[in-house]
């Protein structure tokens, strides 16, 4: 049996990358099945394909053919569920198209079809110790990660989304009004997870807080700011990190800055060209990371260290540090208008 809404993943071959992102978000299947005019499968596009295209500088108007995976793994319709699960597990894939003898798309298997998320060994560390000064007076008597959105704290949204990805172990780094977080979450049993705590006596930065981990993780672990709300698949981020053999991965958002003026290019006194209101695109830190346990060797216990510094130390050691471009919904709840936007989105 394939998922019922697989047709929502169909995408014509003349579509753009922007169309592909819209299709991925609309179907929530994390794959687009690119077909020709006869409904024959000519390739697939996943989140990973889109992200690699974004890193190569492709725009939303670029043809999907530039990021198309032309030879995806597929199965015929008569394959049993047990075989399908074995194929998907062995190849570490989340989607498996079903095609007929003429390559017509007949359905789509999803890893999520199978009962329950597969538990992951990966720990998630959540930075929940900030004072939230830009959100005062709301944070005068409430830590920022505990501010309610859609009837529950921001931090609870993070835990629930991570749990849906199979993550069951958490560590909260707390400082300002940390007792309120501990009183609410306890050991995590009410959410079916395990929660421990790092208690910062003074702000140490994200990297510095990681130096307080008593038990070194045995697998790559997630780190997220406690005020970030996103629809990113945490499991996808971990898999991306492992596939690329990185020491540290940073989720990034594309930031577009439009110059309101016409730019004049010069060489000395001579005008060499004009550029009308140019747009500069850059990647900005999204506050979500995957870290290899060996990266903790770059930290001194109790020493202040932010994440850019940790990434720099790893690069100085010729360790690989990479980015994970986000196209999913993402919001850093740092100001009152961000909190209002998060509440509107969640309703």
Residues with catalytic annotation?
277
Rounded to the nearest 5°, which phi and psi values hold at 19? -65, -40
Q: 335 and 134 in contact (C-beta within 8 Å)?
A: yes
**Contact of 343 with 151, CB cutoff 8 Å:** no
C-alpha pair distances (Å), 43 with each of 12, 47, 63, 219: 10, 14, 13, 33
Q: Which long-range contacts (CB under 8 A, 24 or more apart) does 237-243 make?
A: 237/288, 237/290, 237/324, 238/120, 238/122, 238/290, 239/92, 240/48, 240/51, 240/290, 240/324, 241/290, 241/292, 241/322, 241/324
209-214 contacts, C-beta under 8 A, 24 or more apart? 209/125, 209/127, 209/129, 209/173, 210/125, 210/291, 210/296, 210/299, 210/310, 211/296, 211/299, 211/300, 211/301, 211/302, 211/303, 211/305, 212/173, 212/301, 212/302, 213/125, 213/171, 213/296
**Sequence-separated (6 or more) residues with CB below 8 Å from residue 110:** 2, 3, 29, 94, 95, 96
DSSP 157: H
């Amino acid at each position: 049996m394939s998922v019922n809404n697989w047709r929502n993943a169909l995408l014509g071959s003349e579509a753009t990358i922007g169309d592909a992102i819209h299709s991925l978000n609309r179907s929530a299947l994390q794959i687009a099945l690119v077909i020709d005019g006869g409904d024959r499968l000519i390739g697939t596009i996943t989140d990973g394909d889109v992200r690699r295209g974004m890193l190569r500088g492709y725009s939303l108007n670029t043809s999907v053919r530039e990021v198309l995976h032309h030879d995806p793994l597929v199965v015929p319709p008569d394959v049993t569920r047990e075989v399908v699960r074995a194929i998907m597990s062995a190849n570490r894939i989340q989607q498996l198209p079903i095609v007929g003898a003429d390559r017509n798309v007949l359905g789509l298997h999803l890893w999520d079809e199978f009962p329950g998320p597969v538990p992951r060994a990966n720990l998630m560390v959540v930075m929940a110790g900030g004072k939230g000064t830009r959100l005062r007076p709301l944070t005068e008597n409430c830590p920022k990660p505990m501010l309610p959105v859609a009837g529950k704290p921001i931090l609870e949204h993070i835990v629930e989304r991570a749990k849906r990805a199979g993550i069951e172990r958490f560590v909260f780094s707390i400082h300002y009004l940390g007792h309120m977080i501990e009183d609410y979450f306890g050991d995590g049993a009410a959410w079916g997870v395990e929660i421990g705590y790092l208690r910062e006596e003074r702000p140490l930065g994200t990297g510095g807080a990681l130096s307080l981990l008593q038990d070194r993780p045995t697998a790559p672990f997630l780190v997220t700011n406690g005020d970030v709300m996103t629809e990113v698949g945490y499991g996808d981020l971990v898999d991306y990190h492992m596939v690329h053999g990185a020491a540290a991965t940073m989720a990034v958002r594309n930031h577009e800055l439009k110059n309101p003026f016409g730019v004049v290019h010069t060489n000395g006194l001579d005008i060499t060209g004009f550029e009308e209101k140019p747009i500069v695109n850059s990647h900005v830190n999204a506050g979500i990371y995957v870290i290899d346990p060996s990266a903790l060797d770059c930290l001194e216990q109790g020493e202040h260290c932010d994440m850019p510094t940790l990434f720099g130390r790893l690069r100085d050691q010729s360790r690989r540090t990479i980015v994970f471009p986000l196209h999913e919904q993402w919001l850093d709840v740092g100001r009152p208008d961000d909190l209002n936007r998060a509440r509107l989105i969640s309703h």
